[in-house]
């Protein structure tokens, strides 16, 4: 399964609890949550859009600057999912423009 945000495909999403850090491709990631976790319907809300460089930092996800906010907004770590949008070969400015566009369009709660 994947999620489409403004024409950009985010693979997954996979549960953050089950996520194993790898050598992530250059790109963007999204932190998502299930809007109705009790119904087990794949209706995801967007918590955060970031650069995969943030994932490469030691201690991800617990040491990420927005982790506690993700947990609060998603009502528990078990309701946080992560998806990836690879952007290999893009200039850093172009990737930043895509990130800003997605933040503007979707207004994720934790990007404020």
pTM: 0.92
Compute mean pLDDT per 10 residues along the chain, 112 residues long, and list them.
93 90 84 88 92 90 96 96 92 95 97 93
Domain count, the chain: 1
Decide: helix, strand or coil at residue 5. Answer: strand
CATH classification at residue 67: 3.40.1440
Which residue segment(s) compose the domain that 101 sits in?
Answer: 2-111
């Amino acid at each position: 399964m994947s999620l489409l945000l403004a024409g950009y495909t985010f693979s997954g999403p996979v549960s953050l609890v089950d996520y194993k850090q790898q050598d992530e491709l250059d790109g963007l990631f999204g932190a998502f949550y299930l809007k109705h976790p009790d119904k087990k319907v794949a209706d995801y809300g967007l918590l955060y859009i970031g650069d995969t460089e943030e994932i490469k930092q030691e201690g991800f996800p617990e040491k990420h600057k927005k982790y506690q906010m993700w947990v609060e907004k998603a009502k528990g770590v078990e309701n946080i999912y992560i998806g990836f949008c690879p952007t290999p070969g893009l200039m850093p400015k172009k990737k930043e423009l895509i990130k800003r566009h997605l933040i503007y369009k979707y207004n994720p709660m934790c990007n404020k």
